[in-house]
Amino acid sequence: MSAKVTYLEAISQAIREEMRRDEAVFLLGEDVGTYGGAFKVSAGLLEEFGSERVIDTPMAEAAIIGSAVGAALMGMRPIAEMQYIDFITCGFDQIINMAAKMYWRVGMPVPIVVRGPAGGGTKGGPFHSSTPEAWFFHAPGIKVVYPSTAYDAKGLLKAAIRDNNPVLYLEHKLLYRMPELREELPEEDYVVPIGKAIVRREGEDMTMITYGAMVHQCLQAAQVLEREDDLEVEVLDLRSLTPLDREAISASVKHTNKVLIVHEDALTGGVGAELSALIAEDLFEYLDGPITRVAAPDAPFPYAPALEAAYLPNAAKILSAARELAAY
């Protein structure tokens, strides 16, 4: 084992190690070279790999992703960084109509990773706080992953870079330097398989299904429920949204019989809606209560710190919903 690293450092390690392992891997994006990235994820990469493999681009997300698609079609494995994931909307056409559909159109794989910081809690306002996984969760042809720990951040990114499909890799900026997430990572090479969930906490009274930063809010709530309500809550971290680990979801629901789904994205049309449908269609007979969701309201992300605190799901809101479900 090596020294403990942060979530951010784990991402940086994955990029560096994959660039050393495979000369086809390169990084492009705004300020990824000389500046080392807005959050310093790519610090030091330019010095090691040079400007042909660590490419500073204009502020043009459509061009960044479009260039990555073209490079992938020519045999490269680009990592396209969005400085903030909110601006991935500028490259939506390149992802949905080019990257995601190319294999089905002409039989050519597009092994690109589009990655960037997502999520709120940093007082970034409406243009620097979104978590847009639901837009891409709906799109066939692209994989979506959202790690919650340093171990998974590194292992999932390595898996994404090696995957022959386009992968959207979401990294929650609130987790980047969170001290509690520092951990020792294996010195040997490893990957975390895409499409495999993990049980973060075992329980028998209720399942919380979640991902990303909300994993830690759910774990906090679960600890309180055990201490104050004598409830054993299982926390299932999806890790990958596309493809979903249906087997893990099914096993947990059958075990606990009550489900609380938590995500930071807006409620309507979110990942939780599809999970609710999946569980209602396939596992209805195992349920002892209504499928419950905790998510952000259907409103743009606010600027004011007080409004941001009210807007975001948190352990207190999860706790309230869980107690209501437990009493059903």
Backbone phi and psi for residue 208, each to the nearest 5 degrees, phi listed first: -100, 120
Give the percent of the chain with pLDDT over 70.
100
All domains of the chain, ordered by start, with CATH? Answer: 4-184 (3.40.50.970), 198-326 (3.40.50.920)
Contact 94, 124 (CB under 8 A): no
- Is 255 catalytic? The answer is no
Integer Cα distance of 169 and 267 in angstroms: 21
Q: Is the pLDDT of residue 324 over 90?
A: yes
| 26/240 Cα distance (integer angstroms) | 23
What global pTM score does this model have?
0.97
End-to-end CA distance of the chain: give it in Å, rounded: 46
**Band of residue 3 on the pLDDT scale cut at 50, 70, 90:** confident
Neighbours of 127 (CB within 10 A): 12
Q: What are phi and psi of 39, to 5 degrees?
A: -110, 10
Active-site residue identified among 128, 172, 216, 263: 128
pLDDT tens readout for residues 151-201: 999 999 999 999 999 999 999 999 999 999 999 999 999 999 999 999 999
On the question of pLDDT at 1 being above 60, the answer is no
The three-class DSSP label of residue 299 is: coil
Closest C-alpha to 319, from 229, 219, 221: 221
Question: For the residues of 105-152, what is the DSSP string, one character each?
Answer: HHS-----EEEEEE-SSS---TTS----HHHHHTSTT-EEE---SHHH
Q: Collapse the DSSP code of 303 into the 3-class scheme (helix H, G, I; strand E, B; otherwise coil) and give the result.
A: coil
When pLDDT is averaged across residues 205-225 and rounded to a whole number, the result is 98
Take residue 107 and report the two structure tokens written for it: 């039989």
Q: Does residue 2 carry a pLDDT above 80?
A: no
Those residues whose C-beta lies under 8 Å from the C-beta of residue 214, and which sit 6 or more positions away, are: 262, 263, 264, 313
